[in-house]
Structure 1
């Protein structure tokens, strides 16, 4: 008997961080349920440091944040995307903004490059993703479980003395209650 996978992975890709002092890229997956009714996003790994969560976020939560903006030309701050997550990792929202930029759903604001504006056709993007070929994907069973495919990224490094380096990809969810390694004026500086 073959179990139905919890998710299908539609895309594994990388996004450049958007913060002015940020280095490296975020690896992420776009997932769907086996019925292809909904989309989900999950952060997989982070080059360059900073805690994040591997939480599987329903894309409907991201859309709800976008729909709450009355003026589509108004700038969107990464911190507004915190609402899409349950976990409290400080970098989640900025990393999600980087993913949305990579997918063409957000663009840099003309007034401030660290802010975002809505772009692209979200509905068309969703349909294209839902019709993409997918492969079975089983999320981590527990922190420390290896990703379905080996990660090519190295371990993130800590910026504080006396602190152990950030864990491998599978352990990143352990850091949900931790705060970012970077001291930031706003959440845009780490994304």
Structure 2
């Protein structure tokens, strides 16, 4: 009698539907987690000067115009260029390259400050630069390692339009991104664990109610 009851219960359509729903939802959570993890690990790193459709963190946008920022430390690394992170503290050549021709016909002001104090360490008064390239030679050993800001201001017809780009001197960029991957992995594990727990409780309660 007991065997027949269990057999009937196993063949109960409602029970099959519950199991089928649980399986589908579990697969959904699994696929979602795998996709999330794949996107996290395959996210492209920022290039120093990429294609036109790539994000370039070395660009300074002033309105609709763009200026490319590059830092060289010839004493230490010769021709290797840097952007947001300059590893060595010493004489540094900061290069601002206009990516369009419009900026060559307007006055542009350049300034570099030490943060968070806001102390000015370089200033170039507003002027037109027909060559499309501005160079600032700064000996950062006089000011020390830390955070800096490059300020760019366009002055035209009595109006000002400014922006800035932060950079760090005396620090190297972490190119491994292992911390980000670790956080993503932990997030996925937690997500899957929560999903399994919720599904187990939900359909476990339904089966117990059916009994």
Q: Above 0.5 in TM-score? A: no
Greater fraction of residues in strand = 2
Greater fraction of residues in helix = 2
* Higher relative contact order, chain-length normalized (CA < 8 Å, sep 6+): 1
Largest Rg, 1 or 2: 2
TM-score by length of structure 1 reads 0.23
TM-score by length of structure 2 reads 0.21
